[in-house]
Amino acid sequence: MTSVQQSPRNVSRGRRRERVNASQRRCDRSSDSQLQVFKATNMEDEKYELHPLMHGCDDSWTWNRREKSREVTLYGNSFNIAHFHPNWSSGTAGVRGTRVLNNGKYFWEIHLSQRIFGTSMMFGIATKYARLHVDSFTNLLGEDCHGWGLSHKGLLWHGGTWYHYTKPFRENEATVIGILFDGVDGTLTFYKDGKCLGIAFRGLHEVKQSLYPMVCSTAAKTEMKLTGMKRDFVNLQDRCRAVILKCVVDKTSIDELMIPPRIKGYLKEGINEIRMQPFQPISENEYLLGT
């Protein structure tokens, strides 16, 4: 056989390609390794590929003891568990959260017990004009223009109209519903067991009334546990305060810090917001768009 002798130029090009390919393989292995480390060290909840507010901070709010149906019992840490129809059910019961959502970006989770059944179990947001109780089995959250909700049957409700959104939930199987509200873009997005279901509602930035988280249920002895609350930072100052308050026990600890009085006052306001009332970056009056 006659061997074909390659020119020096072709040999040089071949060697360069081999070096580039070897370098690319090393880069790919490094990227895969870095991604695995990132997922292991930065994901606060492994069920999310990317947490909706992974760069935000913990939020603090709960179910409102004064704005609920008589058929809802609240208990648990900071009354974060809503128990519906403790004896038997003859209607639909709901409860609102204490968080004002407008203009901010917030995420929270609703852990559903294994008792998932009945006419309607719903999660979403509503204004203060949405009804919290009715003596009939109905899709309460979204029955009118004051609510936007997802039912366990996979339907979205608003203005008394329903739309197909996702598959019905499996009955008697525990489920976690994540809810992402973006008051800047005006969207509401749902997650189910860590999987994003897509944007459910748009145009919420045009709502003039204050918006609150809300859940409701027609089924007896069902529970919804509020967890995983997070919010986006308003600005760099807000971000810095959140980091500092992680190391502060109480207001006395702030007084011991060698910082100007004005900054101490700002930090103390943060403690009040976190431990006494929900965080509100601006006053509720300013939430009313167009006023």
Tens of pLDDT, residues 142-154: 999 999 999 999 9
The reported pLDDT for the residue numbered 12 is: 53
Mean pLDDT score, 38-58? 62
The reported pLDDT for the residue numbered 8 is: 53
- Report whether 178 contacts 194 (CB < 8 A): yes
The reported pLDDT for the residue numbered 151 is: 98
The reported pLDDT for the residue numbered 77 is: 81
Tens of pLDDT, residues 176-203: 999 999 999 999 999 999 999 999 999 9
User: In the predicted model, what is the mean pLDDT of the chain?
Assistant: 82
Mean pLDDT score, 90-97? 97
Tell me the chain's radius of gyration from C-alpha atoms: 25
The residue type of 150 is L
Q: At residue 287, does pLDDT exceed 50?
A: no
Q: At residue 155, does pLDDT exceed 90?
A: yes
Higher pLDDT, 245 or 133: 133
Q: Which residue has the tokens 């929900």?
A: 278
The reported pLDDT for the residue numbered 47 is: 63
Q: Per-domain residue ranges for the chain?
A: 17-46, 57-231, 236-287
Higher pLDDT, 27 or 66: 66
Mean pLDDT score, 44-58? 73
pTM of the model: 0.73
CATH T-level assignment (fold) for domain 57-231: Jelly Rolls (2.60.120)
Question: Among 101, 287, 104, 124, which Cα is nearest to 217's?
Answer: 124
